[in-house]
């Protein structure tokens, strides 16, 4: 924990990430329902705070730091989905979000995740959707607008000004994001096959189950996006934890529209430089305890 706080201070003070010591004290990320009530409230307040921080982007419709994430994700859509870098790119994206919560909103807690497999029996009653100590539930039956919980009445600006929307279909969660779907992904031995299985299975399930903003390329409008993707990251971490070889196991198609180009660890990860000024390659995000990262699950 100490290393982590120091690290964030360096980021704030210098504007760029100084070369860091080895990761000796990784922070353990926690499932939402395993946080205390106090920890949940602190996280929700930090997320709400992003709406009060001005946008960091130039030449954009994004109005606040909250909105920047959906804008950038939408901007890069075709470069970061259905390609090999889907997992390392989103690992980095969650890290940028976590760093923003810390640097701009004084958040000192851990990055929480949503383990959907714990909701297989009764997804609608998930603590994730709690109106007091969660992210609120389904949108209004007519408008899709989220009208209850901590984010009721929140408008977002990507791709245009609209209320945050959800249109629940929890059969998608029980079908694609179940323990058995996760288990069969973990059985796969090659990255080039593991990545699409996770992306089209459990990943798709979480997006489609919440739907509304979550079903679009501006899905980071919904704060649940980050808990969902942290769990996707955790599934990858579980897969990588099988053997240290898997910390460098990376393959598949680099581009959506050109199957002939093989992805490599040296590929540069795209990012809007207003959101993160550092340039990184895939290799920097291959393991949660190296490069800029220092966490575990």
Does 61 participate in binding ligand NAG (rule CB under 6 A)? no
**Binding span for ligand NAG by CB under 6 A among 18-26, 93-101, 158-166, 270-278:** 158-166
Q: Which of 27, 84, 163, 286 binds ligand NAG (CB under 6 A)?
A: 163
Stretch of 23-31, 129-137, 159-167, 187-195 lying at the interface with ligand NAG (CB under 6 A) = 159-167
Which range binds ligand NAG by CB under 6 A, 129-137, 154-162, 257-265, 276-284?
A: 154-162
Q: Of 61, 156, 68, 53, nearest to 105 (Cα)? A: 53
From the list 15-23, 63-71, 156-164, 198-206, the region that binds ligand NAG by CB under 6 A is: 156-164
Query: Binding string to ligand NAG for residues 92 to 111, with x set by CB under 6 A, is what?
Result: -------------xx-----
- Which of 162, 217, 289, 296 lies at the binding interface for ligand NAG (CB under 6 A)? 162
Residue 66 CB, nearest approach to ligand NAG (Å): 13
Toward ligand NAG, which CB reaches closer, 107 or 176? Answer: 107
To ligand NAG, the closest distance from the beta carbon of 60 in angstroms equals 17
19 vs 229: CA distance, rounded Å: 27
CB of 270 to ligand NAG, least distance (A): 29
Tell which one of 61, 78, 131, 155 touches ligand NAG (CB under 6 A). 155
Q: How far apart are CA 1 and CA 101, in angstroms?
A: 16
In SS3 terms, the chain reads as CHHHHHHHHHHHHHCCCCCCCCCCCCEECEEHHHCCHHHHHHHHHHHHHHHHCECCCCCCCCCEHHHHHHHHHHHCHHHHCCCCCHHHHHHHHHHHHHHHHHHHHCCCCCCEECCHHHHCCCHHHCHHHCCCCCCCCCCCCCCCECCCCCCCCCEECCCCCEECECCCCCHHHHHHCCHHHHHHHHHCCCHHHHHHHHHHHHHHHHHHHHCHHHHCCCHHHCCHHHHHHHHHHHHHHHHHCCCHHHHCCCCCECCCCCCCCECCCCCECCCCCCCCCCCCEHHHHCCCCCCCCCEEC
Spatial separation of the C-alpha atoms in residues 213 and 199, rounded to whole Å:
18
161 binds ligand NAG (CB under 6 A): yes
Task: Tell which positions 225-284 bind ligand NAG, by CB under 6 A.
Answer: none
Residue among 44, 49, 128, 215 that touches ligand NAG (CB under 6 A): 49
Give the nearest distance from C-beta 160 to ligand NAG in angstroms. Answer: 9
Site size toward ligand NAG (CB under 6 A) is: 7
The residue (of 65 and 293) whose beta carbon lies closer to ligand NAG is: 65
The distance of closest approach from Cβ of residue 117 to ligand NAG in the complex, given in angstroms and rounded to an integer, is 33
Task: Kindly state the smallest distance separating residue 268's Cβ from ligand NAG, in Å.
Answer: 33
Least Cβ distance, residue 64 to ligand NAG (angstroms) = 13
- Give min distance, CB of 99 to ligand NAG, in A: 14
Name every residue whose Cβ is closer than 8 Å to that of residue 118 and which is 6 or more positions away in sequence.
31, 33, 126
Q: How far apart are CA 27 and CA 17, in angstroms?
A: 18
Judged by the rule CB under 6 A, the positions of this chain that interact with ligand NAG are 49, 105-106, 155, 161-163
């Amino acid at each position: 924990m100490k290393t982590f706080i120091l690290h964030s201070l360096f980021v704030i003070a210098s504007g760029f990430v100084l070369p860091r010591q080895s990761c000796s004290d990784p922070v353990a990320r926690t499932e939402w329902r395993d946080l205390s009530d106090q920890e949940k409230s602190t996280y929700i307040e930090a997320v709400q705070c992003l709406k009060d921080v001005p946008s960091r982007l130039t030449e954009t419709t994004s109005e606040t730091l909250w909105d920047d994430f959906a804008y950038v994700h939408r901007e890069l859509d075709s470069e970061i989905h259905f390609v090999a870098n889907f997992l390392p790119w989103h690992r980095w994206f969650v890290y940028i979000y976590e760093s923003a919560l810390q640097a701009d909103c004084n958040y000192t807690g851990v990055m929480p995740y949503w383990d959907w497999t714990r909701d297989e029996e009764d997804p609608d009653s998930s603590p994730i959707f709690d109106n007091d100590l969660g992210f609120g539930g389904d949108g209004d039956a007519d408008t899709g607008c989220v009208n209850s919980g901590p984010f009721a009445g929140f408008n977002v600006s990507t791709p245009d000004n609209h209320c945050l929307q959800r249109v629940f279909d929890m059969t998608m969660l029980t079908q694609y994001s179940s323990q058995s779907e996760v288990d069969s992904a973990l059985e796969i031995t090659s990255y080039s096959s593991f990545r699409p299985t996770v992306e089209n299975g459990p990943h798709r399930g979480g997006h489609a189950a919440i739907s509304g903003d979550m079903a679009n390329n501006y899905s980071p409008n919904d704060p649940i996006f980050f808990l969902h993707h942290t769990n996707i990251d955790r599934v990858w971490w579980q897969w990588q934890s099988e053997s240290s070889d898997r910390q460098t196991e990376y393959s598949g198609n680099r581009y959506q529209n050109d199957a002939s180009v093989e992805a490599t660890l040296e590929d540069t990860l795209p990012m809007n430089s207003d959101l993160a000024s550092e340039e990184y390659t895939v290799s920097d995000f291959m393991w949660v305890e190296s490069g800029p990262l220092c966490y575990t699950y």
